[in-house]
Structure 1
Amino acid sequence: MTDRLLVIVEDDEAFAKTLKRSFERRGYMVLTADSHAALERVLAGNRPGFAVVDLKLGAESGLVCVRTLHAHDPAMVIVVLTGFASIATAVEAIKLGASNYLAKPSNTDDIEAAFARSAGDPSTPLAPRPTSIKTLEWEHIHEVLKDSDFNISEAARRLGMHRRTLARKLAKRQVG
């Protein structure tokens, strides 16, 4: 494992380039992949110590990449970035080997801080109030979207709402 070798798994080319440049300025050697297949090619000859994985890679789930990265090196520090934050995907990401889970927008400072916080903190305070109805609704919508491969029409049908209603709800909560 190379101490400062980082792999970024992101299908948004502009965002991946921005992250790459920013981490290179901080002294990291950065490799990029835009899909699970590309990640496997990168891992064939490299052993990164850090990884940043987008949860949604086109039609693929970044969770598959998290599993692959963790299997490649269980000591790797993996941070998942997502515009589709939900408790369900956060739990799955951690189960599959992610060290941290950040909602977008997150910058290089946030990600590097997450690398440093790879161990759990038992002194983290409990939430002072229960999850709001809006958050529960959003998590349910996200879960249905994920189960329908992010097909809005199919998700709307499964949720029992009009497609335009679902599209409006998604537009209000930044997705992507």
Structure 2
Amino acid sequence: MTDIPIIGPDPSLLLVDDDDIFLNRLARAMEKRGFQVSRAATVAEARDIVAAKPPAFAVVDLRLEDGNGLDVVDALREAREDARIIVLTGYGAIATAVAAVKMGASDYLSKPADADEVTRALLSNAESLPPPPDTPMSADRVRWEHIQRVYEQCERNVSETARRLHMHRRTLQRILAKRSPR
């Protein structure tokens, strides 16, 4: 993003993610865009920050090591009704998107989301949708990400993953042997 966005009188931003590399990279990018960033890696840390000084903006990962990011959304919504909250997750599903919006999230983005997408979502008008991403994930990539996620959740057990995905085990093995699509 070449232009400096118009943030408003309160540029405070809370980033909550248990992936340290992603958290630090996003924090640096958002600071360059004029936000005053606070970072948290757990639900407990995020709740402490919200209790001390509720931020005007927040980007919260859905799945955290010590709980669900929706707990942070709920705490922030109670502390500050006007906060713009974006739920960010690597595992996008309609049910979780609906739950996030019902809990008070302003928008829902799937990883990998870059700083430009996050900024557009944070600063978009509540009545209008933000523009579509410049380079969205392909359908093949989304499918591959979902399969990888379930595979990891099944502790890398191919047979269990195939059963849960309603796939033939050999088909799944072929998919897992290939490189990720672009």
TM-score normalised to the size of structure 1? 0.70
After TM superposition, give the deviation of residue 69 of structure 1 in Å. 1.4
- Select which of 66, 77, 82 maps to 1:70: 77
CA distance in 2, matches of 1:36, 1:156: 32
1:101 and 2:108 aligned: yes
Change (3 A) 1:92 1:156: farther
Change (3 A) 1:157 1:68: farther
After TM superposition, give the deviation of residue 27 of structure 1 in Å. 1.4
Residue 46 (structure 1) aligns with: 53
Change (3 A) 1:111 1:156: same
- Select which of 21, 27, 32 maps to 2:39: 32
Q: What secondary structure is seen at the aligned counterpart in 1 of 2:30? A: helix
After TM superposition, give the deviation of residue 116 of structure 1 in Å. 2.1
Q: What secondary structure is seen at the aligned counterpart in 2 of 1:51? A: strand
Residue 18 (structure 1) aligns with: 25
Residue type of the partner of 2:17? E
CA distance in 1, matches of 2:50, 2:43: 10
Residue 79 (structure 1) aligns with: 86
Q: Where do residues 139-154 of structure 1 align in structure 2 (5 Å cutoff)?
A: 150=153
Change (3 A) 1:107 1:159: closer
- Select which of 92, 100, 113 maps to 2:99: 92
Q: What secondary structure is seen at the aligned counterpart in 2 of 1:3? A: coil
Change (3 A) 1:54 1:91: same
Contact 2:43 2:66 in 1 (8 A): no
Residue 15 (structure 2) aligns with: 8
Contact 1:100 1:118 in 2 (8 A): no
Identical positions, percent: 37
Count of aligned pairs: 155
CA distance in 1, matches of 2:166, 2:69: 28
CA distance in 2, matches of 1:116, 1:66: 17
TM-score normalised to the size of structure 2? 0.68
Gaps of 5+ in 1: 125-133
Q: What secondary structure is seen at the aligned counterpart in 2 of 1:7? A: strand
CA distance in 1, matches of 2:154, 2:70: 18
